[in-house]
Amino acid sequence: MDDILAQLNIFYDNLSVWVDATASNMWTVMVPILFFIGLWLTIKTGFIQFRRLPEGMKLIFAGFMGKKIGKKKLEGDVSPFAALSTALAATVGNGNIGGVATALFTGGPGAIFWMWMCGFVGMATKYAEALLGVKYREKYEDGSIAGGPMYYIKNGLPYKRLARILAAGFAVCGAFAALFGTGNMMQANQMALAFESEVGVPKYIVGIIISFAVGLVIIGGIKRIGAVAEKLVPVMIIIYFIFGFIVIFSHLSEIPGVFILIFKSAFTPHAATGGFLGAGVKLAIQHGFRRGLLTNEAGLGSAPIAHAAAQTPSPVHQGLIGVGEVFIDTIIVCTITALINLSSGMWQSGLDGTAMTAAAFSKSVPVIGGLVVAFSSLLFGYSTLIGWYYYGEQCMKYLFGVKVTYPYRVIFVTLIFIGSVISLKLAFYIGDIANALMAFPNLIGLALMSGTIGLTTREFFKKYPKIEDFDG
């Protein structure tokens, strides 16, 4: 038995090296595409993320407080806040805990700067995705909303043959990412790792529990997913904030040096120190963007599937909520994780993923620190699993119709268990490839529809200078 396990470990290690090399080559191409399309959308929308972020956050806060926008009955499956919560459930996941740590482990402190850059341009990209998701959504025969890149590409692009190819390509890659990538197997992997390292629960036990818990929610579709997400997401973020700030304040004197280290390492190679093997600028940029996209999903095309289901007054309203989504995910939550690992010195420990962040918490908050990370990993990962289930379901419905729903549920839940027991690096690298494949057709669609995005935005704010001026 030991020999078989040893051979399996060798196989996993070799496969991980090959998959990582493939992911690295793909992201060498994807990083500049992602950045420049985000920058182009920033220009086309008049720097929407800088001028309108407060309004986006105001809409999010209003939704959190249960306030409705307008008095008319609006089309859609769930409230704007439930749609945001579903999108945040999928984005604020173990990428924020383990993914940021992995970026530090492989790209060094400079990767955090490039993650921020990914977030800033990603706000404009997410705005565009959410706007188009609502603008070009359709209905299934049962009356539920059908939306996302496959629909805005199909309905919004004038080049119909190209539109059909890109839309189908996105749906295929989206279904693959939901089943085999960061939306499923990686999340289960990090959750199982956290509980095994901090509580001693075997991975396969955690996998069984997670699979059962996800199955209970996804059977109810987007309405149940949205209802769970809008209650779960605020709670899990607040818990992580509270204990994260406790860790940061325990190393408060280190924080100025941490920011200097991040900015310095973003533009100069960082030598090997402690358990860190060193990283050049190219590696910092690549892993900053790879993990940035993993956490905020701007440009990936996943979030507009959830935003399209919102009972929103206008596409622009939901677009502004998308801006706030990226800000919360990358600029706030990811930064907290980065500061925790850097200020505690655990980024040099040789640990990777969730194990690094758990060690940083345990160092500053003995006894319960590791348990907080394990519990946060459970909540973050669980919310991401239910959000990504919906994304994959919508992609599968686009390709095969509503009859595919139940077989897809069985496959999705089965892969949760498999993801919980495979190796860490392999799970992340598969996710990187899936993300790149999914993002490519969506980014082409966004670039070709940038004129529509800019025109819709200008016309709206010409008529309504402030979002509260909108009368429905």
Q: Which residues span the domain enclosing 314? A: 2-465
Give a yes or no: residue 472 inside a domain: no
The SS3 of residue 441 is: helix
Is 100 in contact with 118 (CB distance < 8 Å)?
A: no
Q: Give the torsion through C-alpha atoms of 244, 246, 250, 252, to 10 deg.
A: 70
pLDDT of residue 336: 92
b (16+ CB within 10 A) / e for 167-182? bbbbbbbbbbbbbbbb
Q: Which amino acid is at 375?
A: F
pLDDT of residue 398: 92
pLDDT of residue 40: 96
**Cα–Cα–Cα angle for 381, 77, 302, rounded to 5 degrees:** 45
Domain at 211, CATH number: 1.20.1740.10
**Residue ranges in the chain modelled with pLDDT below 50:** none
Share of the chain above pLDDT 70, in %: 89
Give a yes or no: residue 471 inside a domain: no
pLDDT of residue 266: 86
pLDDT of residue 277: 57
pLDDT of residue 335: 92
Give a yes or no: residue 387 inside a domain: yes
Give a yes or no: residue 368 inside a domain: yes
Give a yes or no: residue 227 inside a domain: yes
pLDDT of residue 161: 92
Give a yes or no: residue 278 inside a domain: yes
Q: For residue range 400-416, what is the model confidence (pLDDT) as tens digits? A: 988 888 899 999 999 88
Closest CA to 39 of 133, 118, 110: 118
Give a yes or no: residue 169 inside a domain: yes
Domain count, the chain: 1
Give a yes or no: residue 99 inside a domain: yes
